[in-house]
Amino acid sequence: MRASLASSIAVACATALALPVTLAAPATATARAAAAALPPAQDELPGSTQSLPLRPLGTSVRSFGSDPGAAPEQGLARRDVRPFSLVGVVWDDPTAVLHGTVQVRTRAAADGVWSDWQDVETHNDEHGADPGTAEGAAGTLRGSTAPLWVGDSDGVEIRVRAERTEADGATAPLPAGLHLELVDPGEEPAAPAPGSRVMAPPAALTAAEAAATGVNSALAPYGATAIPDTLPETGLDEVHGAPIQKEIVRKEITQEAVVQQELAREAAAQAAPKQPYIGPRPKIITRKGWGADETIREKGFVYTKTIKAAFVHHSATGNNYTCGQAPSVLRSIYRYHVKSSGWRDFGYNFAVDKCGNIYEGRAGGVAKPVLGAHTLGFNTNSMGVAVLGTFTSSTPPAAVVTAVARLTAWKLGLHAINPKGTVTLVSGGGNLYAKGKQVRFNAIAGHRDGFATECPGGRLYGKLGTARTSSAKYQGRS
């Protein structure tokens, strides 16, 4: 955890919403309609968060077993709630660790069917802002689990059980102030008309929107939903993802002249200096494109000096989403990071969905060295890339590895970094290394390289070598 933070930070918990309905069977349509009429959530911004305090579970409702000596449990029995799509658990002290098991099951809004119990990743302490930074010492911070995407749901049940130590069988107490967070991502952004270039004049944007899109204005118009990709200087265009030879329009040029031109071009390319090695910029869906509510983050942007390394993560939100739902997943994680965990903005600099789409993460400009909150103690001079999903036992699609390679070839290239090389970062503390220690990393590293964590999952971690090789090739390196 954030070892250098004060051991106890008083956090004002969000107004709790205690719902009285406890169900033994799926709710009726009448009950669900009643739940929809419940009081508003914490705020009236697009999307919403319901924060429900957990309570001790009596023996009559224990779900982990009937052992009279069982460890303490907290949770909530089945109940109706307003619609939500993502769940997580938070607690008061951001330095406290939840040593235990968190499981939830949810009721699908579409058909009223309850899911099986699902595990929530409890070790989220390796994420977050570096100790000693303004964000890392903010009084808004809370301890939190990883968020879990469950899809459109309107019922929930949760159980949290402390774990016993193997040494003496003692049980560590659960953190104080446990709350279940239920996040509704809000409505999807309006889709642009087919073939249109979506842009908005600065006057049509709010101040927060204008600031978030303005830092990318050299790459795309104000209000653009995506930053277009660029192609290598090869004389090729791209049509539907496939390169095609440009049409030669001067028909009077002889075939011999064309050959001579190509030979001259090739010789010039070989004679030209190979630096800098910057891969072509991939298409990046902007915060506007995935519907980020710019009013909930802190104003302004914070930058680091450079980008030496890219830390690859998995979001641990599960793989039960479609690529069309990825913007909703992002809005939910964003809201969970800011409204529930108390961070200043979305934690990662970029995100990649399982179809290989790349998204702008923390605001400040995709080409700029934005300081993130992704790899505790090593956020300075690095960037964080979160692949949406859980890849502990699931193999990431090839499109994911390609997207990571393309993104890092461009972004690391802007800072003259070889994706197959190694770099030195200075630990900010709170991780495997003492504050101030210089640590060597692969330029494309996994989160587990800097912290005792399973992130980014063994299957995704095993693909990073391929990503490094591909990224270097995109940069034009051998």
| Domain CATH code at residue 386 | 3.40.80.10
Distance CA(448)–CA(246), nearest Å, equals 45
Whole-angstrom distance, CA of residue 32 vs CA of residue 29? 5
DSSP 348-368: -SEEE-TT--EEE-SSS-TTS
Residue 417 placed within a domain:
yes
Q: Are strands 382-387 and 350-352 parallel, antiparallel or unpaired?
A: parallel
Per-residue pLDDT tens listing for the chain (478 residues): 333 333 333 333 333 333 333 333 334 444 444 444 444 444 444 799 999 999 998 754 445 554 545 567 999 999 999 999 999 999 999 989 899 999 999 999 999 999 999 999 987 666 778 888 888 888 889 999 999 999 999 999 999 999 876 566 677 889 999 999 999 999 877 665 555 555 555 667 889 999 999 999 999 999 999 999 986 543 333 333 333 333 333 334 455 665 566 666 666 555 555 568 999 999 999 999 999 999 999 999 999 999 999 999 999 899 999 999 999 999 999 999 999 999 999 999 999 999 999 999 999 999 999 999 998 889 999 999 999 999 999 999 999 999 999 999 999 999 999 999 999 999 988 777 889 999 999 999 998 888 877 888 889 999 999 999 999 999 999 8
Note whether residue 356 is domain-resident. yes
Are 311 and 440 within one domain? yes
Contact 453, 374 (CB under 8 A): no
Q: Give the CA-trace dihedral at 285, 286, 292, 295, to 10 degrees.
A: 180
Instruction: Estimate the crossing angle of helix 464-474 against helix 398-413, to 10 degrees.
Output: 50
The residue out of 184, 214, 231 marking a domain boundary is: 184
Q: Tell me, what's the pLDDT at 296?
A: 95
Same-domain check for residues 325 and 452: yes
Tokens of 241: 């993802």
Which of 164, 184, 204 represents a domain boundary (last residue)? 184
DSSP string, 189-211: PPPPPTT------GGGS-HHHHH
Q: Are residues 52 and 175 in the same domain?
A: yes
What is the DSSP code string of 8-57?
A: -----PPPP-------SSPPPHHHHHHHHTSPP-S--SSSEEEEEE-EEP
Look at residue 5 and tell me if it is in a domain. no
- Calpha distance 476→464 (Å, rounded): 19
Using an 8 Å Cβ cutoff, are 451 and 375 in contact? yes
**3-state DSSP call for residue 309?**
strand
The domain boundary, picked from 184, 212, 238, lies at 184
Q: What is the pLDDT of residue 367?
A: 97
Residue 461 lies in a domain: yes
Domain ranges, residue 315: 284-474
Is 345 within a domain? yes
Extract the tokens encoding 353.
């969905």
| CATH code, 138 | 2.60.120
Domain assignment of residue 194, yes or no: no
Beta-carbon contacts of 348 under 8 Å, excluding residues fewer than 6 positions away, are: 313, 361, 362, 372, 374, 384, 385, 386
Split into its structural domains, the chain has a count of: 2
DSSP-derived secondary structure letter, 325: G
Q: How far apart are CA 292 and CA 295, in angstroms?
A: 9
